[in-house]
Amino acid sequence: MAASSRAQVLRLYRALLRESQRFGGYNYRMYAIRRIRDAFRENKNIKDAEKIEELVNKAKVNLEVIHRQV
């Protein structure tokens, strides 16, 4: 993975975790954090650039959803 895409993924990961911390309910907050961590761990060994781009776009959409819900 190129350094720029790695940095982009890390920024996205941190943004998702930061945004999910804003959920009011403890159960929603912990569920979101657990799902984010699990998804990133599950996909950490992917090398295909197209698949990485697809997952990054999906995560960006999820970040917008979380942002609207909080």
Across 34-39, average pLDDT: 97
Provide the whole-model pTM.
0.89
pLDDT in tens, 52-67: 999 999 999 999 999 9
Query: Residue 18 domain-assigned?
Result: yes
Alpha-helical runs (H) found in 1-70? 3-20, 26-42, 49-69
Q: 20 is in which domain, residue-wise?
A: 6-68
Contact 43, 55 (CB under 8 A): yes
Query: Residue 10 domain-assigned?
Result: yes
Maximum pairwise Cα distance, the chain? 37
Q: How many domains does the chain have?
A: 1
Query: Residue 36 domain-assigned?
Result: yes
Higher pLDDT, 5 or 11: 11
**Which of these, 33, 1, 30, lies nearest to 16 by C-alpha position?**
33
